[in-house]
Amino acid sequence: MSTANRREWFEKALSERALGLVALVVVFFAVIVWPFPSPLGVVLGGMLVGGRIALIALGFALVYRASRVVNFAQGDLGQVPATLVVLLVISAGWSYWLALVIGVAASLTLGGLVEVLIIRRFFRAPRLILTVATIGLAQILTGLALFIPGLFNTSALASRIEPPFKVHIDFGGVIFNANDLLTMIIVPIAFISLALFLQRSSSGIAIRGAAERADRASMLGIPVKRLSTIVWALASLLAFLAMFLRAGAVGLPIGSVLGPTFFLQALAAAVIGRFERFPTIALAAIALGVVDQAMTFQPGNRPAYNDLMLFGVVLVGLLLTGRSAKGRAGSEASTWQAAREVRPIPRELVNLPEIRIGRWVLGLGLIGFVLSLPVWLSVSRLDLATVIVISAIVALSLVVLTGWAGQVSLGQMALAGIGAAVGGAMTAVHGLDLLLALLGGGVAGAIIAVIIGYPAIRRGGLTLAVSTLAFALATWSFVLNQEFLGDWLPSGRIETPQFLWGAVDISTDTRLFYLCVGVLALALLAVRGIRASRTGRVLIAIRENDRAVRSYGVSAVRTTLAGFAVSGFLAAVAGVLLVHQQHGLDVTNFAPSESIQAFSMVVIGGLGSISGAILGAIYVRGAAWLLPAEWQFLATGAGLLLVLLILPGGLGAALADIRDGVLRAIARRRNIIVPSLLADRRVEELVPINVDASAIEGIGDSA
């Protein structure tokens, strides 16, 4: 073993031991040293909770090992069949065991159908694109789960399924029933069965081998696609077992969306185990369950404390685990086929009279249309237009972070919430000017973005999506909660503040709309300037191949952190505008689901397209206003999948294709060859050659 390899092995071992030590200290402190030590019954209950979490986490790991994909639909794969089973037992009066068998069959079928109908369409796509597709899939499955209760004419919430037999065990001051006993039996059986399947069966061994190189495995005759179907079916089964057992313990939110806490607990365990080490993932999930229940046992505890602890676990886990030893952790983010940027007008055509006149007419027409909106829109629709403008600023921040820097953020609205809290407090509490609030909120968002982004840069891959989703949950439930930080947050109605110390009046909805449009215009200019600068070019290069960038002596970490700062600043500025447009700090505007919607609008508009970000904001926010709440998943979830399947470049790229078609027609009419538009004729022409036959004969004779 070389010195470099020995050092890498030592650092890896030290990191793993440090992580294990931290986990033991946390569990020991939560259970033993806590002001009110948890009784053994609470510890056992936490282990049962952790066992259910582990089933979801192992589903994450199974899909990741087979496909190198972080499956954000993992919990929803189990939610749909579990909802069906619970309603069959409670509403239809079916037998518990018969409904369980139907649930197992439904989960296997659902997982197989999802793989065949959706996942397989992205077989040759970059792993990042497939991960994004699972976000859209999760929203579709959530919508499906919300429709199932309508088939049974019920809208019951948190329906808890009764056990099939009666058992009451008093252990450590806690009563355990038959549902808990079933968890004690089913979870270990699932662990052992999964381990035996992966280690002893031919399919399991093939799955492990195909995970390394799917193309090479396919060349060797391994049925990679069939194995992928098996993996997704098993992941769906594990998710169903977790949700079904959870229905017996605490109930399922029938008729409402499953909260993100349970999902994030499983995701945190998978992060600790690097999505690859099944025993570590299972133990981490059980430890998280014990800590969660120990915290819940404490007098005066709030669920927000548990969410904050969960975010801390994810952040510490990312800092301690580092990159995968096999170097594949970041490979899925190295190719961004969907991040297509709009090309400028070719130099051969840019100075043509019709092009120049057309650009001026379109530009002035667009500006005139936007500025005239307050004239003919009602008050409610003008508010919608203002929200669309603010959402476009958030979308621009994601273009910088995701489209250019190659980092997936699912907590962008949480950064906007930080900006809203800081900016709202500066104007409402301290009476400062709105301009200072915009700057102060933006700086706060930039600092938080850098703090959250650094562990993700160190770990690589798609870990920023995990950490930002945990951050979104902690911000929504704790940071923006008046119960905990009420002295620091703006409360009540926020009146319209002064702007530029009274020089500009923004007291009406129309003037506030114009202010938001002005901020959007400045953001557009800033983003375009960054893209044209050296920093923008380096961000694109890092996104495509960070190792090559480092080989030129460029600090990839510093440049990427600059991208985080710019993105956080823009998102927080949008939050400052939103809190004043809404005249109050409404935490529902910054829920984790809103961050996922913000990410969806950028994918739909086009990851690398500035104009596409605005189109995506119009599409998503407009659909949210036009469609009922139960149908909005079609705009975001189904819309995201359709864009990835039909328009990989997004709406912005589709609009650019239309523009290129017009430019191509102009070039053809003027007989101008434009190589960048794929010219319709070749430059080379065949030249006829007249050869004297006698000369050829003479050559032959001389030979």
pLDDT given for residue 700 in this prediction: 43
State whether residue 692 is helix, strand or coil.
coil
Helices 379-398 and 509-532, packing angle to 10 deg: 20
Q: How far apart are CA 425 and CA 143, in angstroms?
A: 37
pLDDT given for residue 376 in this prediction: 85
Where is 636: in which H helix or E strand? Answer: none
Q: Evaluate whether 577 touches 441 at the Cβ level (below 8 Å).
A: no
Percent of the chain with pLDDT over 90: 19
pLDDT given for residue 240 in this prediction: 93
Where is 301: in which H helix or E strand? Answer: none
Q: How far apart are CA 639 and CA 501, in angstroms?
A: 44
Residue 157 vs residue 573, higher pLDDT = 573
State whether residue 504 is helix, strand or coil.
strand
Which residues, other chains included, contact 239 with Cβ-Cβ below 8 Å and sequence gap of 6+? Answer: 55, 56, 59, 74, 75, 76, 77, 78, 79, 107
Confidence of residue 331 (pLDDT cuts 50, 70, 90): very low
Read off φ and ψ for residue 646, nearest 5 degrees. Answer: -100, -45
Exposure of 351 in the CB half-sphere (CA atoms within 13 A): 2
Query: What token pair was written down for 64?
Result: 């990741």
pLDDT given for residue 67 in this prediction: 77
Where is 419: in which H helix or E strand? Answer: helix 412-428
Tell me the sheet residues that pair with 504. Answer: 499
Mean pLDDT within 298-302: 74
pLDDT given for residue 390 in this prediction: 94
Among 125-139, 179-193, 199-213, 678-692, name the most confident range.
179-193
pLDDT given for residue 234 in this prediction: 93
pLDDT given for residue 207 in this prediction: 74
Q: How far apart are CA 80 and CA 470, in angstroms?
A: 23
Confidence of residue 339 (pLDDT cuts 50, 70, 90): low
Q: How far apart are CA 703 and CA 699, in angstroms?
A: 6
pLDDT given for residue 405 in this prediction: 83
- 606, 151, 71: which is closest to 336 by C-alpha? 606
Q: How far apart are CA 115 and CA 119, in angstroms?
A: 5
Query: What token pair was written down for 345?
Result: 């007008």
Q: How far apart are CA 567 and CA 535, in angstroms?
A: 13
- 32, 17, 56: which is closest to 286 by C-alpha? 56
Residue 161 has pLDDT above 70, yes or no: yes
Query: What token pair was written down for 512?
Result: 């506030």
Confidence of residue 139 (pLDDT cuts 50, 70, 90): confident
Q: How far apart are CA 639 and CA 584, in angstroms?
A: 31
Q: How far apart are CA 322 and CA 272, in angstroms?
A: 10
Percent of the chain with pLDDT over 70: 81
The structure tokens 């057992």 sit at 245
Buried b (16+ CB within 10 A) or exposed e, 358-386: beeeeeeeeeeebeebbeebeeeebbbbb
Instruction: Specify the pairing of strand 169-171 against strand 174-176.
Output: antiparallel
pTM exceeds 0.85 for this model = no
Q: How far apart are CA 473 and CA 574, in angstroms?
A: 19
Q: How many CB atoms lie within 10 A of CB 625?
A: 14
Where is 91: in which H helix or E strand? Answer: none
Mean pLDDT within 577-597: 89
Residue 139 vs residue 38, higher pLDDT = 139
* Dihedral sign computed on CA atoms, order 366, 367, 368, 373: positive
Exposure of 86 in the CB half-sphere (CA atoms within 13 A): 32
Instruction: Please report, to the nearest 10 degrees, the dihedral formed by the alpha carbons of residues 545, 548, 554, 560 taken in order.
Output: 10
Q: How far apart are CA 305 and CA 576, in angstroms?
A: 26
Q: How far apart are CA 641 and CA 139, in angstroms?
A: 10
Q: Evaluate whether 394 touches 412 at the Cβ level (below 8 Å).
A: yes
pLDDT given for residue 154 in this prediction: 65
Read off φ and ψ for residue 146, nearest 5 degrees. Answer: -75, -25
Residue 680 has pLDDT above 50, yes or no: no
Confidence of residue 186 (pLDDT cuts 50, 70, 90): very high
CA angle 445, 446, 449 (to 5 degrees): 85
Q: Report the chain's C-alpha Rg in angstroms.
A: 28
Q: How far apart are CA 249 and CA 284, in angstroms?
A: 21
3-state helix, strand, coil in the chain (%, to 5): 75, 0, 25
> Which DSSP symbol is given to 340?
P
CA angle 144, 306, 571 (to 5 degrees): 70
Mean pLDDT within 587-602: 87
Mean pLDDT within 278-305: 83
pLDDT given for residue 468 in this prediction: 87
pLDDT given for residue 326 in this prediction: 47
Residue 2 vs residue 499, higher pLDDT = 499
Mean per-residue pLDDT over the chain, rounded: 80
Residue 524 has pLDDT above 90, yes or no: yes
Q: How far apart are CA 331 and CA 605, in angstroms?
A: 25
* Dihedral sign computed on CA atoms, order 494, 500, 502, 505: negative
Residue 632 has pLDDT above 80, yes or no: no
Confidence of residue 26 (pLDDT cuts 50, 70, 90): low
Residue 35 has pLDDT above 80, yes or no: no
Confidence of residue 631 (pLDDT cuts 50, 70, 90): low
Q: How many CB atoms lie within 10 A of CB 178?
A: 17
Residue 672 has pLDDT above 60, yes or no: yes
Among 162-166, 229-233, 349-353, name the most confident range.
229-233
245-285 pLDDT per residue, tens = 988 887 776 544 556 777 888 888 888 887 888 888 898 89
Exposure of 231 in the CB half-sphere (CA atoms within 13 A): 29
Q: Evaluate whether 270 touches 61 at the Cβ level (below 8 Å).
A: yes
pLDDT given for residue 486 in this prediction: 73
Residue 518 has pLDDT above 90, yes or no: yes
434-464 pLDDT per residue, tens = 999 999 999 999 999 998 888 777 666 667 7
